[in-house]
Structure 1
Amino acid sequence: MVRGKTQMKRIENATSRQVTFSKRRNGLLKKAFELSVLCDAEVALIIFSSRGKLYEFASCSMQETIGRYQRHIRDVQPAKETSMEENMQNLKEETACLVKKIEIIEASKRRILGENLGSCSLEELQQLETQLEKSVTKIRARKNHVFNEQIKHFREKEKQLAAENARLTEKYEMLPKESIVANTEDASPSEDTISQISDVETDLFIGLPETRIKRLTNR
């Protein structure tokens, strides 16, 4: 079972707080002494209680240890500032270098597009021409490759369509001739249909309306 971390906070009871301070202070002073003896370390420990009472331990002289600490801070601080200045300078130089590279790339791009060629020397123009010829060669090779792939695809499609056509033709030839003739006869008009068409055609009459009325009456 994993227990959650207990949040540390100030002891509210004054008596319990004083007892805890005494115990932990003594334990801390003991650890500082052991560290100095076992590891041959120069240790200085300063403790002020909540009432302002001082407790201290020093393996050597407290003043010498504090002076050594102050000298160390003075030596390290300029080194940190120098390091930051060097980093800033390196960043500025790197930024300037990147800006120059971008300008060179932009100028080369404009020249490839045929712009700003007035400042180019003969050698630069020859190099640009060679570069463009290589680019055109690569583009043409890629174009031919794409064309060949398309032709190959269309040929495969043609083979598939030819095979499908042959299959349908073979299937048609295997059908019985009687069914083909029957389908043809069913498709031709019947005698009743022809008679109806004839009746419709006989009803057609060209002439004056009076003549048409007389003809219909006689029928």
Structure 2
Amino acid sequence: MGRGKIEIKKIENATSRQVTFSKRRAGLLKKAQELSILCDAEVALIIFSSTGKLFEFPSSGMKKTLARYNQCSDSSESSLVECDFEMQQVKEVAVLREEIGKLQMAHMHMMGKELLNLSLKELQHLENMLNEGITSVKDRKEKLLLEQLEQSQLKEQCAVRENEILRKQVEDLRGLLPGTERSVTKYLDFHPVERKVSHTKPLLPNLSALFKCTFEKAEHSDTSLHLGLPDIYCKRKAVERTTCSNGDSGSPMPPWA
């Protein structure tokens, strides 16, 4: 007759539990030893009883086996972490691709394309979005135009100020010139006229003829006597009279005539 099956659960009787523990522990240690010898495997067995006693079987040293176990467990954990990270990245890539596809389709809808599959409600929503976008674009455009207008006005004001400063500097420089030249230049600046080449004779006489007439008039006047001019001036007048009389007789004119 074969042995009947034993139900695997905790044995409530302490004596029976201790007997079962001793038998199965010996069998487990024997199996571990046989496995290490037959298969050339590195086996380490650790057993703690319910009372806290330690039973162990190392085939090639407990510390060496435990160090190897820790190294393998660390590498397996890191590999598991890397695998989880890769799986998470794959999921994120799939989500991003889906979002990119949705954005591309929305862009096509904004451009007025691929509208056949849209319902009436979706088309109305799209129309509202486009109207809002056009309004915001117009507002931004008006704002930029106003800013450019303000900048242009500021530049114009700066140019007017610089023009006034330059005008004052020009007037100060004109103040250093004679009065006739300043008045003529100022008149020409504000009243420009066309310069025409005149082929007629100049209206004003030569300076030499003007001085000659002045001296001739002064010759017949008694102004020098009444003003009490010095003798040098009188002598000069006498010399001029003599030269004028000689000039009438055909002698050359003096340099100052």
TM-score of the aligned structures, taking structure 1 as reference length: 0.47
Indicate the structure with greater helix content: 1
Instruction: Decide which structure has the larger Cα Rg and report it.
Output: 2
